[in-house]
A and B are shown apart, each in its own frame.
Chain A
């Protein structure tokens, strides 16, 4: 209605009056959009113990990992990515995968997904007690080649095996897409490519697709374009966003994703996990900062922010590093 009013006034009335009407209806329309209904609830997927610790310089002892996960379980988070069943040759930080899985206190109602890059990893994961797994695909061919030495389509074919076995075992699978807003090698990534990979993962049987801005270069403009393309292929309630804060854009990107109907957000306690592609830069967005924004918006998360901050303080003390969370810094009484 407001838009139509504007068209009439610009063409029919005099320029002076037209200006006023444009300003009014513009503001009203913008105001309505800005205040548009956001999801009532948002599910936070906590990736600190896996994505976070995997990308930290210091390797953390098994007991510390277990204690961190237990503290996170107590904070109200409903999904905590516990570890990764990749070969310790490639990722030594996750070598204690089996002990971690067996050592944590599994809180009822909380899911503890683990990464499984291949069938061997999947089998080891299930044997160690995992009841949910995650697989990775990239939206960039070069990234896929450099990371796992095969093309995107080849990587998806490899996952076919896991999907079949997981289906038989009744194990849900979450799909991750990397480089959705830019690639360290290719630069710009076409939204259609992201949509293609997301669609493949979804039709293969992944219950949720997490779209990752791996190098944090995205801004609200590119986020919206990408989500528009992907949501034409995958229902929006099966989508999640995994934003990196390397350029400080994470919360703004998450906000526009929420405005587009996304209600699952990945984040990492204390913003654990730097960016492997930009030395000294930040990586994952901090869970505390995301929760602060969501609660400020009146959105429920089920998370107790102060317990979450306790977990963050604990892991930062152990890693002997400062938190990357602004909320934690602001409330720190040092």
Chain B
């Protein structure tokens, strides 16, 4: 405080502030904090079930089912639904029907339907099929650990994030691809990335392979991140750990956020219905604890 000029020092005295701006005491009391933590008032959920989820499921799902799932999700209030992926069907047969899906879905006016495009060919095909938003791997994988390399330095993650941001990606989703992260590593990684990319351009994509997704998301929220990726019913197992879960369930994320008074605009009941539908079609139980608790397992 020694270098602060006297006039500023005057402003910074709490007693003086209260005297000059009597409305402050009221404003301070009304401020919405949960014990000193400021949580975002609104969190945007990016639903990745139809793409990331279905891509990582053993069963290949017919086009009609994919379209119905996306249409059900469109009616829940979710603002962003990742619809499909324009990768070569040689590599990802589950997404071979990308054009039919994009053309078949009923586009809700206030919902965005980004698609993955790994290369120029994919990008052109996507635009030709009607895509109005692409995810140009504004995704950073292995942000908290790698199945081959193990520990990943936070500075490496921030370098990649910075490059993507400078290239023009409007949002960078930081993915804990194998779900090994914990609140400690999440905090360190975000601290590093937030030095290079503005917080409001960041999203977290947590996997629940070790059950850590919700505490990791909570940590990200405490640090000011307000965009969370998740998948309905926790679709999409982990390709690196047989039989394990992968994506965190949208239902469980919503339950936590709404319980904390954070708005999402999403109707949890309708998401539960969409989850029921796709689990029936896939003939598998849901990964969502909330869905299990509400008695909606097979």
Contact = CB atoms under 8 A, between A and B. Distances in A.
A255 B210 contact: no
A334 to B, nearest CB: 6
Contacts of B256: 219-220, 248-249, 252
Interface size class of B (residues with CB under 8 A): 35 or more
Nearest to B240: A330
A330 B222 contact: no
B184 A249 contact: no
Interface in B281-298: 288-290, 292-295, 297
A30 B222 contact: yes
B214 A248 contact: yes
Contact of A326 (B24, B209, B219): B209
A124 interface: no
Contacts of A26: 38, 224
A34 B34 contact: no
B277 interface: no
Contacts, number: 172
B17 A8 contact: yes
* Most central of A251, A280, A282, A286 by chain B CB within 10 Å: A251
A218 B259 contact: yes
B21 interface: yes
A248 B210 contact: no
Contact of B222 (A8, A33, A221): A33
Interface string A23-35: 1001101110111
Nearest 7 interchain pairs by C-beta: A296-B182, A219-B259, A248-B289, A326-B211, A221-B260, A34-B222, A248-B252
Interface of A: 4-5, 7-8, 11-12, 23, 26-27, 29-31, 33-35, 216, 218-222, 224-225, 228, 245-249, 251-252, 254-256, 260, 275, 278-282, 286, 289, 292-293, 295-298, 325-327, 329-334
15 contacts: A8-B8, A12-B11, A30-B37, A31-B191, A33-B36, A34-B223, A219-B255, A219-B256, A255-B183, A260-B35, A278-B293, A292-B211, A293-B183, A296-B212, A330-B244
